[in-house]
Amino acid sequence: MSESVTKPRILTRQVNIGGVSVGGDAPVRVQSMTTTKTGDVEATLTQIRELATAGAEIVRVTVNDDAAADALPKIIAETKIPLVADIHYQHTLALRAIDAGIAKLRINPGNIGSKDNIKEVVKAASDAGVPIRIGVNKGSLHKRYKDMEPVAAIIQSATDELELFDQLNFKDVLVSLKSSEPMEVIQACRQWAKISDVPQHLGVTEAGTLLAGTSRSVAAMSVLLAEGIGDTIRISLAADPVEEVNAAFHMLQALGLRDGFARVVACPTCGRAEVDVVALAAKVEKLAKDLPSDKVVAVMGCIVNGPGEAKAADLGIAAGKSKVAIYRKGELLCSIDKADLDRVLMEEIERLK
């Protein structure tokens, strides 16, 4: 991995979430959230397993009704990675999630209700050793902040909530300061890092579909992470949540903060291409998923830049008019007929494992 150009991490207070450390000198943790009805135990467990296989380290599930709360003990019993209960409106569901053995709560200060409700939840969380994330969203701020400028309102909401937690001597806490505007997320999280050592979960809320949502999330998070800010992340997408995890690792790997996947270098393709680079690169990306993260596979559409890039990779292909050149660690291995490309690629990728 190339030398990191990011600033040193800003050390926050460390929190333990069901055996996974977050904050302090722990790696930036990757989270996602299920999209199933939590009450549907089988569907939720299937998705949690898919997310865990993709590399998610913490998974959030909504606990929005009695069916979800009823399902929690069964889901927790069958799940190896820490689960977070996402709670809005009904603080009693938070109490039920704690009883069920949840690893962490996420509550929204804008809608969780009275101070007494919060006190009750904090007391139960404290007794059970369950950390709480104060999840502030610009879109659901309490009405008392409505006349404030958005970033100031987000910070003030988190500060007020944290003050109450402090009064209750509850320190096992994280915050998230979210907006659907990446620039507001950057401003809010930067300001927070200056005034508090409470670990931050980063996210751009309602970021959008796969491409737009990834781009908007990465725009905000990469700035913050490069400044050493951020202890856990979620790239929220209107897409399969496995894509959230994939995108998060690609971003963290690009910033030198985590190992991710073997890198597939693919030329952007142009009129010179002698093979369908787009289809081939997608196929190679799937095949290369299980390779060690330091491996590089290059898929190049022609001989202009092809041989140079292909030579620099652990495995490279550069397509010519009738033949395709295969390189292994810089050495030309062979030239094959295009008809044999799929088979040879598969064999060579297996060899890199």
Q: Which residues bind ligand SF4 (CB under 6 A)?
A: 267-270, 272-273, 300-302, 304-306
Nearer to ligand SF4, 183 or 270 (CB): 270
Nearer to ligand SF4, 174 or 264 (CB): 264
CB of 4 to ligand SF4, least distance (A): 29
CB of 52 to ligand SF4, least distance (A): 36
Nearer to ligand SF4, 182 or 306 (CB): 306
CB of 315 to ligand SF4, least distance (A): 16
Nearer to ligand SF4, 110 or 301 (CB): 301
CB of 271 to ligand SF4, least distance (A): 7
CB of 318 to ligand SF4, least distance (A): 8
The DSSP symbol for 111 reads T
Secondary element (H or E) of residue 266? strand 263-266
Nearer to ligand SF4, 155 or 297 (CB): 297
Beta 104-107 vs 83-87: how paired, if at all?
A: parallel
CB of 276 to ligand SF4, least distance (A): 11
What 3-state class would DSSP assign to 106?
strand
Query: Edge to edge, what strands does the sheet with 323-328 contain?
Result: 263-266, 296-300, 315-319, 323-328, 331-337
Nearer to ligand SF4, 241 or 301 (CB): 301
* CA 343 distance to own-chain centroid: 34
Nearer to ligand SF4, 225 or 298 (CB): 298
Residue 34, amino acid: T
Residues whose CB falls within 8 Å of the CB of residue 175, separated by 6 or more in sequence, listed in order? 133, 134, 135, 136, 158, 162, 192, 196, 198, 199, 200, 201
CB of 285 to ligand SF4, least distance (A): 16
Residues in the chain: 353
- Here the tokens at position 328 are 């292994």
- Give the span between the Cα atoms of 80 and 85, in whole angstroms: 15
What 3-state class would DSSP assign to 167?
helix
> What burial class does residue 44 get, using C-beta atoms within 10 Å of its C-beta: 0-12 exposed, 13-18 middle, 19+ buried?
buried
CB of 303 to ligand SF4, least distance (A): 7
Residue 344, amino acid: V
- Give the span between the Cα atoms of 58 and 54, in whole angstroms: 12
- Give the span between the Cα atoms of 66 and 68, in whole angstroms: 5
Nearer to ligand SF4, 19 or 271 (CB): 271
CB of 50 to ligand SF4, least distance (A): 33
Other Cβ atoms less than 10 A from the Cβ of 221: the count is: 27
Q: Which of 109, 126, 105 is nearest to 117 (CA)?
A: 109
- Give the span between the Cα atoms of 125 and 315, in whole angstroms: 51
Nearer to ligand SF4, 191 or 269 (CB): 269
Helices 150-167 and 182-195 meet at what angle, rounded to 10? 40
- Here the tokens at position 60 are 């959030």
